[in-house]
């Protein structure tokens, strides 16, 4: 068995009477970059939450052979998670350092008056790696979209997990910030299994090992050259898909 | 005749403890975006106290225990509604409407059925200057319970408000902390009602946290500031009220509001 596997068997996810995923099966092996694409409301975040054990599902989710179905405390030890930022104002000041420290602090019992040296080094290393060590004292509310995403990636990297799930990490990030983030994500995928959701996969295509198209179920999963096809994407996105010099773009994130 | 300020230690203990408890709870309320729920808590506390007075007079149930039990039931009901997907503002609005109606009925019943046995004024306007040593011991017990349930877990309580999913992925049972928070708020609001009063509880549970959040740049500083502002506001309000003869809880509320207005001038 590979040291980096994420396997889903007979996954079913429902919200009330509505079934979002029904009997899904797939197996991902790392390292490598898996780009998850699909319109808004397609179920990308739901899929990630199912993989992380954050929602109740039927079926099984196995990470490196370990059953983590519905068990976030187990999944969280094996997967680093970068949540989607929905533009919310927290209304409460939390600093960059506090966010990154939380990866360690929450796993320790009170009182946590100080961190041992090795844990302090983990925190500093994650801050430096994502280039946010110089803004560690700033509150999240004062950061740009790109800086904020790098903070949450730093938090996910504290325990150096072998699998990373990133939900729309390019949301609210300016063009230059996107280039930086995409480069970092690609670098990480050389040693980790990285699942990243994005409306437009074009920035990741040169490095993507697999593309997963989600639209109330997994519509396609395969190498980019087999999945990124106008005919397939048009079924998911409708007229939002167009071809410019043999390059596929999605200009609207809404389902047809 | 020289000005003389006479302070009873009971006043300082009760106001000090109430300020400490609200100073700890208030930043958590802000961090967890429980402002709607917190705004409704004094209503549930007053109703719980009135229902406890009725139960005590009719059934002989100890007031302190009954009031806390009623408060836990009421606050748990609202938080259950919110956790089941009812919008917080809708759940709070419904809750306030129902509790105000029941409060009016209970108040009318108490004033007509046992007018001599009880004084409900202290629960409405609050008066720390009338507390007995029995009240002081009760306040100490309530404060100890609330502080034990919250202070060691402030980081968890706050981070649940920032990123609940991540907290769960870190092995923290967020639902357990929700229950602890609801219990703390329910116990604090009813347990400190007599000292602080229904009206000023709104201020004390909300303003220290809001003011501290506007001034601080980190969660740690916001928690410390919330605590200090609440304690300073409580004790300053007590001193001013004793010196001026004005209602203590009202003055405490005005002092807290003053802190908030100053924080607005300073900005973040």
| pLDDT (tens digit per residue) in A178-218 | 888 899 999 999 999 999 998 767 888 888 999 999 999 99
Element (H, E) at A43: none
> Residue B215's closest CA among B201, B232, B228, B234?
B228
Rounded mean pLDDT of B161-176? 92
Does A107 contact B170 at a Cβ distance shorter than 8 Å? yes
Q: pLDDT (tens digit, 9 = 90+) per residue, B85-144? A: 888 888 888 888 999 999 999 989 988 888 665 677 778 777 777 888 988 999 999 999
Using an 8 Å CB-CB cutoff, list residues of chain B that contact chain A: 27, 30-31, 33, 152-153, 155-156, 158-159, 161-163, 165-172, 213, 216-222, 268
End-to-end CA distance of chain B: 46
Q: pLDDT (tens digit, 9 = 90+) per residue, A30-42? A: 899 999 998 888 8
**pLDDT, position A239:** 66
User: pLDDT higher for B249 or B117?
Assistant: B249
Looking at beta carbons, which residues of chain A come within 8 Å of B161? 90, 92
**pLDDT, position A1:** 42
**pLDDT, position B174:** 92
**pLDDT, position A30:** 80
Supply the CATH number for residue A173's domain: 3.40.50.300
> Residue B45's closest CA among B66, B20, B30, B16?
B66
Does A93 contact B153 at a Cβ distance shorter than 8 Å? no
CA distance A96 to A106: 16
**pLDDT, position A158:** 93
Residues with pLDDT less than 50, chain A: 1-2, 256
Global pTM value? 0.86
Size of interface A-B (CB pairs under 8 A): 98
**pLDDT, position B52:** 92
Residue whose tokens read 């006479």: B6
CA distance A23 to A13: 9
Does B168 contact A112 at a Cβ distance shorter than 8 Å? no
Bridge-partner residues for A19, per DSSP?
A: A14
Among B28, B166, B173, B263, most A C-beta atoms within 10 A, so best to mutate, is: B166
Length reported for chain A: 256
Element (H, E) at A66: strand A66-67
Looking at beta carbons, which residues of chain A come within 8 Å of B213? 91-93
Looking at beta carbons, which residues of chain A come within 8 Å of B31? 90-92, 94
Can you list the alpha helix ranges (DSSP code H) found in A79-201? 96-105, 117-129, 145-157, 175-188
Does B152 contact A137 at a Cβ distance shorter than 8 Å? no
Whether A158 and A147 have beta carbons less than 8 Å apart is answered as: no
* Among candidates B167, B171, B219 on the partner chain, residue whose Cβ is nearest the Cβ of A92: B219
Task: Read off the DSSP letter of residue B217.
Answer: S
Parallel/antiparallel/unpaired status of strands A208-214 and A32-37: parallel
Q: Is A255 a domain residue?
A: no
Give me B196's structure tokens.
């602080």
Kindly tell me if the per-residue pLDDT of B184 is higher than 50.
Answer: yes
Q: Which residue in chain B has the smallest CA separation from A81?
A: B166
Q: What is the ipTM of this complex?
A: 0.88
At residue B151 the predicted structure's pLDDT band, cuts being 50, 70 and 90, is very high
Using DSSP's 3-state secondary structure scheme, residue B147 falls into helix
CA A68 to chain B, closest CA, distance in angstroms equals 11
Average pLDDT, whole number, for chain B? 88
Rounded mean pLDDT of B207-227? 94
Q: Where in the sequence is the domain holding A145, given as residue range(s)? A: 5-250
CA B192 to chain A, closest CA, distance in angstroms equals 26
Q: Is A256 a domain residue?
A: no
> b/e map of A231-247 (b: 16 or more CB within 10 Å)?
ebbeebbeebbeeeeee
Peptide bond into A40 cis (omega under 30): no
Q: pLDDT (tens digit, 9 = 90+) per residue, B7-19? A: 888 989 999 999 9
Half-sphere exposure of B149 (CA within 13 A, CB side): 22
**pLDDT, position A108:** 84
Q: Which residue in chain B has the smallest CA separation from A101?
A: B155
Looking at beta carbons, which residues of chain A come within 8 Å of B163? 83
Does B165 contact A137 at a Cβ distance shorter than 8 Å? no
Give me A241's structure tokens.
């898909």
CA distance B79 to B267: 32
Does A110 contact B33 at a Cβ distance shorter than 8 Å? no
CA B152 to chain A, closest CA, distance in angstroms equals 6
**pLDDT, position A211:** 93
Looking at beta carbons, which residues of chain B come within 8 Å of A95? 217-220
Average pLDDT, whole number, for chain A? 87
What residue ranges in B86-233 does DSSP mark as E strands? none
Rounded mean pLDDT of B227-251? 92
Task: Read off the DSSP letter of residue A216.
Answer: S
Domain positions in chain B? 9-21+31-199
Using alpha carbons only, give the angle B9, B221, A105 rounded to the nearest 5 degrees: 110
Kindly tell me if the per-residue pLDDT of B63 is higher than 50.
Answer: yes
| Cβ neighbours for B219, distance < 8 A, ≥ 6 positions apart | A92, A93, A94, A95, A98, B27, B31, B155, B158
Superfamily per CATH, domain B9-21+31-199: ABC transporter involved in vitamin B12 uptake, BtuC (1.10.3470.10)
Parallel/antiparallel/unpaired status of strands A208-214 and A218-222: antiparallel
Q: Which residue in chain B has the smallest CA separation from A86?
A: B163
Does A81 contact B165 at a Cβ distance shorter than 8 Å? yes
CA A33 to chain B, closest CA, distance in angstroms equals 22
Whether A235 and A243 have beta carbons less than 8 Å apart is answered as: no
Mutual angle of helices B133-150 and B9-31, in 10-degree steps: 30
| Cβ neighbours for A206, distance < 8 A, ≥ 6 positions apart | none
DSSP string, B31-78: HTT-HHHHHHHHHHHHHHHHHHHHHHHHH---HHHHHHHHHHHHHHHH
Residue whose tokens read 């802000």: B30
**pLDDT, position A235:** 77
């Amino acid at each position: 068995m590979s040291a980096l596997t994420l396997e889903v068997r007979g996954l079913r996810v429902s919200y009330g009477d509505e079934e979002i995923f029904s009997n899904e099966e797939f197996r991902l092996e790392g390292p490598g970059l898996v780009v998850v694409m699909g319109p808004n409301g397609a179920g990308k975040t739901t899929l990630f939450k199912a993989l992380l054990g954050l929602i109740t599902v039927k079926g099984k989710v196995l990470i490196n052979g370990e059953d983590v179905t519905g068990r976030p405390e187990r999944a969280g030890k094996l997967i680093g998670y970068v949540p989607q930022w929905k533009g919310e104002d927290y209304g409460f000041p939390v600093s960059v350092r506090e966010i990154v420290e939380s990866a360690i602090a929450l796993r320790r019992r009170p009182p946590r008056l100080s961190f041992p040296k090795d844990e302090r080094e983990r925190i500093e290393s994650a801050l430096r790696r994502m280039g946010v060590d110089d803004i560690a004292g700033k509150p999240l509310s004062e950061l740009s979209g790109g800086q904020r995403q790098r903070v949450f990636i730093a938090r996910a990297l504290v325990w150096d997990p072998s699998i990373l799930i990133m939900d729309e990490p390019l949301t609210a990030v300016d063009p230059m910030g996107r280039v930086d983030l995409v480069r970092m994500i690609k670098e990480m995928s050389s040693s980790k299994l990285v699942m990243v959701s994005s409306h437009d996969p074009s920035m990741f295509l040169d490095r993507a090992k697999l593309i997963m198209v989600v639209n109330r179920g997994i519509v396609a999963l395969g190498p980019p050259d087999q999945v990124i096809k106008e005919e397939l994407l048009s079924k998911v996105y409708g007229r939002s898909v167009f071809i410019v010099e043999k390059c596929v773009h999605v200009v609207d994130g809404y389902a047809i | 005749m020289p000005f003389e300020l006479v302070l009873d230690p009971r006043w300082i203990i009760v106001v000090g403890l109430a300020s400490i408890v609200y100073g700890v709870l208030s930043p958590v309320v802000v961090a967890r975006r429980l402002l709607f729920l917190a705004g409704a808590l004094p209503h549930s506390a007053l109703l719980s106290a009135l229902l406890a007075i009725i139960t005590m007079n009719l059934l002989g149930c100890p007031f302190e225990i009954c009031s806390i039990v009623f408060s836990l039931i009421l606050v748990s009901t609202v938080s259950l509604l919110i956790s089941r997907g009812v919008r917080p503002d809708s759940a709070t609005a419904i809750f306030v409407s129902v509790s105000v109606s029941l409060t009016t009925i209970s108040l009318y019943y108490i004033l007509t059925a046992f007018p001599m046995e009880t004084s409900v004024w202290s629960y409405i306007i609050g008066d720390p200057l009338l507390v007995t040593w029995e009240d002081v011991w009760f306040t100490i017990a309530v404060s100890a319970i609330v502080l034990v349930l919250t202070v060691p877990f402030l980081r968890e309580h706050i981070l649940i408000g920032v990123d609940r999913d991540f907290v769960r992925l870190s092995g923290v049972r967020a639902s357990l902390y929700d229950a602890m928070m609801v219990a703390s708020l329910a116990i604090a609001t009813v347990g400190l009602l007599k000292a602080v009063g229904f009206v000023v509880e709104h201020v004390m549970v909300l303003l220290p946290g809001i003011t501290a959040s506007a001034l601080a740049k980190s969660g740690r500083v916001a928690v410390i500031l919330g605590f200090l502002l609440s304690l300073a506001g409580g004790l300053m309000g007590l001193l001013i009220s004793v010196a001026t003869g004005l209602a203590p809880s009202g003055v405490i509320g005005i002092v807290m509001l003053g802190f908030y207005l100053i924080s607005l001038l300073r900005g973040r």
